[in-house]
Structure 1
Amino acid sequence: MELQIFISKKGTKVVTASNLHLVLGISNQHYSSNVKKWLCDVYEFRDGIRKPEYMKDYSKRPSKDNLLDDYYLSVELAKMITLNSKSKVKQKFANWLFNLENKFENTEFLTTEQVISVLELTKVMGLVSCQAACEKQHHKTYEERNSGSAANWWNFRSEVLGYSAEQLKKAMQMNGKKANGKSQRQMLMLVDKYEMVRTAVIDLFMALGKSERYAQNLGDLAKVFAKELNIEIFDDRGSFANFAPPLNSELAGEVKNLKNSRYRQLWETPKMAS
């Protein structure tokens, strides 16, 4: 028995509650109560521990008959429901949903607009003001997810980025350069300036609530673009702002303030069709 995947007009991949219930081999007698529990339970989503949200994680499936309520479920929600079930075949379908989800996490489904957006982001991330703003917003998001605490912030961020201040200091020493008194950004400038662009992009997408893997993959892509474009790093803060190179000012402004615009909307989770 196959688990059917539906694709909404906006490209969101979903499964139906009725089909998932069927393939898991759960008694039809308990369908209504099981689905109600699925939608009211608490799960560990990529953006935090919470209950499923209507029009984000699930939506009502239109039906000609009203005998049983059916719903569209996001792939992420369907995977967690499957793992929490007592079905004898849950491993098979959980793995299948996990692999499908991985394709999204590994950015295999980026649209042309999104690829162009990463390219434009790469350019503005050469501005130190944008880099600093993304780091600050990532820090804010981390605090919000951890009940206002940022006690483990630097360790967490180091794990996400793949390097720490100590590792940068060692890299500086190996290159015969002094690290004393230098910030991470200053050390990166001397060790690998394109990593500054990657770091900023990762900070941005972590701030937007994306998963670590998704943010890392987009950061890696931005670093490739940065090398190809030979992006220069420019500290446009303070009195140097008037000397910043001509770039996409609208995008730079959004990166600094994370306001809603057509750029951010490209990366928001599509609303599920009702």
Structure 2
Amino acid sequence: MVNIHYSPKGTPYVWASDLHAHLEIDSPLSEWFSHILGYGFVLNEDYSYHPKQIALPDGDYNEKKEWAVQLDMAKHIAMIQRTDKGKALRDYLLRLDSEVNEGARLNHLQISALFDLCKVMGFFSVQKMLQSEHFEFMERPKNWWDYRAKLFGYSKKQLQDMMQAIGKKYTSERQALLHLKKHELIRQATIDLFIAMGKSTIYAKNMGSFMETIAKELKPEIYNDNGLLIDFKSPSQIKTISLLKNKNDRAKLLGSLA
């Protein structure tokens, strides 16, 4: 199938030459693509032009025309062809689009953003802030704790039973999870963040799962930093938290995840 590439901003695209080859178009690439543009596609919106230098045997160079095609345009091109390969390509791009929109597929820039975020999500102060944002975004629902139990997959009673089973006392849900499954705290905080940003529940849960996996590898600090007289956070962590707190600055931290 056609390879997917990503722009510096994380936007997925495919090369026109790859579409041309995969769809087995008989006419030359430039002639075919000129015909495609007759359907009303817009330069620098639906596609962009990228001249490539091709080395010749005599040491000289020849310029080859190439176009980066956005996924929506690629889907239209696949439909226009009216062939089995065109239909299969459209179905593939639709599935890819769905995975991107639901947060099930990330590029390297998005994964890098999650790594930076993971380094501060273990602090109770950050978790509390994001939970509060989630609460406000949902317009302070009266069934808040029932809603969270369904969202995260276990109830307050189940948590109590698990703590009794290991013989530990606790004063808060976070303290209990710190004993039972500390990386769950980071998953929850991530879900809180993305739902508060207006993302879908499935997107937020996918981000939470990614972050939990990253946390198991990265092993970030996880502890209750509320009310501490001395702040042990690194300058890098302080900067990340500052960006996270300011909603206007979050795009700098999260990039295309925002």
Instruction: Report the TM-score when normalising by structure 2.
Output: 0.60
* Separation in 2, partners of 1:123, 1:222: 10
Residues 108 and 171 of structure 1: is their aligned pair in 2 closer, same or farther, counting only changes over 3 Å?
A: same
- Per the alignment, residue 131 of structure 1 pairs with 127
- Per the alignment, residue 25 of structure 1 pairs with none
* Separation in 2, partners of 1:225, 1:96: 28
Residues 158 and 118 of structure 1: is their aligned pair in 2 closer, same or farther, counting only changes over 3 Å?
A: same
Residues 257 and 166 of structure 1: is their aligned pair in 2 closer, same or farther, counting only changes over 3 Å?
A: farther
* Separation in 2, partners of 1:254, 1:9: 21
CA offsets 1:207-239 (integer angstroms, 9 cap, x no match): 11111111111111111121222222132222x
| Larger Rg computed on CA atoms | 2
Q: Does the alignment pair 1:103 with 2:92?
A: no
Residues 241 and 158 of structure 1: is their aligned pair in 2 closer, same or farther, counting only changes over 3 Å?
A: farther
Q: Structure 2 matches for 1:221-240, cutoff 5 A?
A: 221-238=210-227, 240=228
Deviation at 1:205, TM superposition (A): 0.8
- Per the alignment, residue 171 of structure 1 pairs with 162
| Counterpart contact for 1:133–1:255, Cα < 8 Å | no
Question: What secondary structure is seen at the aligned counterpart in 2 of 1:243?
Answer: coil
* Separation in 2, partners of 1:250, 1:131: 16
Residues 216 and 241 of structure 1: is their aligned pair in 2 closer, same or farther, counting only changes over 3 Å?
A: farther
Deviation at 1:244, TM superposition (A): 2.2
Of residues 232, 251, 257 in structure 2, which corresponds to 1:244? 232
Question: What secondary structure is seen at the aligned counterpart in 2 of 1:139?
Answer: helix
Residues 165 and 118 of structure 1: is their aligned pair in 2 closer, same or farther, counting only changes over 3 Å?
A: same
- Per the alignment, residue 23 of structure 2 pairs with none
* Separation in 2, partners of 1:203, 1:104: 20
* Separation in 1, partners of 2:211, 2:237: 16
Q: Structure 2 matches for 1:157-236, cutoff 5 A?
A: 157-179=148-170, 182-236=171-225
| Aligned residue type for 1:156 | Y
Residues 228 and 264 of structure 1: is their aligned pair in 2 closer, same or farther, counting only changes over 3 Å?
A: closer
Of 245-254 and 130-139, the range deviating more from structure 2: 245-254
Question: What secondary structure is seen at the aligned counterpart in 2 of 1:250?
Answer: helix
Residues 266 and 243 of structure 1: is their aligned pair in 2 closer, same or farther, counting only changes over 3 Å?
A: same
| Counterpart contact for 1:194–1:231, Cα < 8 Å | no
**Bigger relative contact order (CA 8 A; separation at least 6):** 1
Question: What secondary structure is seen at the aligned counterpart in 2 of 1:178?
Answer: coil
Deviation at 1:266, TM superposition (A): 2.7
| Counterpart contact for 1:130–1:252, Cα < 8 Å | yes
| Counterpart contact for 1:234–1:244, Cα < 8 Å | no
Deviation at 1:262, TM superposition (A): 1.0
Deviation at 1:158, TM superposition (A): 2.0
Of 220-229 and 97-106, the range deviating more from structure 2: 97-106
Residues 259 and 165 of structure 1: is their aligned pair in 2 closer, same or farther, counting only changes over 3 Å?
A: farther
| Counterpart contact for 2:110–2:255, Cα < 8 Å | no
> What is the identity percentage for the equivalent residue pairs of Structure 1 and Structure 2?
33
- Per the alignment, residue 117 of structure 2 pairs with 121
Question: What secondary structure is seen at the aligned counterpart in 2 of 1:119?
Answer: helix
* Separation in 2, partners of 1:164, 1:8: 42
* Separation in 1, partners of 2:238, 2:8: 32
| Counterpart contact for 1:172–1:187, Cα < 8 Å | yes
Question: What secondary structure is seen at the aligned counterpart in 2 of 1:242?
Answer: coil
| Counterpart contact for 1:129–1:256, Cα < 8 Å | no
Residues 172 and 105 of structure 1: is their aligned pair in 2 closer, same or farther, counting only changes over 3 Å?
A: farther
Deviation at 1:9, TM superposition (A): 9.7
* Separation in 1, partners of 2:93, 2:198: 21
CA offsets 1:108-132 (integer angstroms, 9 cap, x no match): 4312111011111111011111111
Instruction: Report the TM-score when normalising by structure 1.
Output: 0.57
* Separation in 1, partners of 2:191, 2:98: 18
